[in-house]
């Protein structure tokens, strides 16, 4: 049986724009871990596209939508990268992107928030909670840990 542990550093974005505006991603880092047969494989995904509307004063109006192409998977071993794109893992041909869509936000402390998101992988959406911080420089940082 295969166990998938995905740790995605989705919200490590440096964003341009005023707090209440829609912002463009300037930098991003998306990393993951997959555990299979007792071995942990680490890697990255590139090409993040995101739409961010986030004003801490108006969380009810905040929206974040992000996606990344599965074809950009990189683990340092080309054969493994190709294998991870096959149907028994990410099935990149049929499901070319991993997507994250916000559904709600709440403040948990100074500069600290928790978002509820629909995470869609292989065409299946799962509700996930993602704690994150927002710095004065509009840098979002968070980690999603999910097993399944």
pLDDT band, residue 144 (cuts 50/70/90): low
pLDDT bucket at 145, cuts 50 / 70 / 90: low
Number of domains in the chain: 1
Determine the average pLDDT of the residues in 10-29. 53
DSSP of 40-102: EEEEEE---EEEEE--GGGGGG-EEEEEEEGGG-B-S-HHHHHHHTSTTTT-TTT--EEEEEE
What domain range includes position 124? 5-147
Supply the pLDDT for residue 86.
94
pLDDT at 92: 95
Q: Is the pLDDT of residue 3 over 70?
A: no
Alpha-carbon span 10 to 77, nearest angstrom: 22
pTM score: 0.79
CATH code, 89: 2.40.128.110
> Does residue 11 have a pLDDT over 60?
no
Of 146 and 117, the one with more pLDDT: 117
């Amino acid at each position: 049986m295969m166990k998938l542990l995905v740790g995605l550093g989705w919200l490590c974005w440096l964003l341009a724009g005023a707090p209440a505006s829609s912002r463009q991603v300037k930098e991003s880092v998306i990393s993951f871990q997959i555990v299979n047969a007792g071995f942990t494989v680490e890697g990255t995904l590139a090409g993040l596209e995101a739409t961010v509307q986030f004003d801490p004063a108006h969380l009810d109006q905040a929206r974040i939508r992000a996606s990344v192409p599965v074809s950009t998977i990189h683990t340092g071993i080309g054969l493994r990268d190709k294998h991870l794109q096959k149907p028994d893992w990410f099935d990149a041909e049929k499901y070319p992107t991993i997507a994250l869509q916000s559904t709600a936000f709440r403040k948990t402390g100074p500069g600290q928030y928790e978002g509820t998101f629909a995470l869609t992988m292989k065409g299946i959406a799962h509700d996930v909670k993602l704690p994150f911080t927002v710095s004065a420089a509009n840098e979002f940082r968070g980690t999603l840990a999910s097993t399944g």
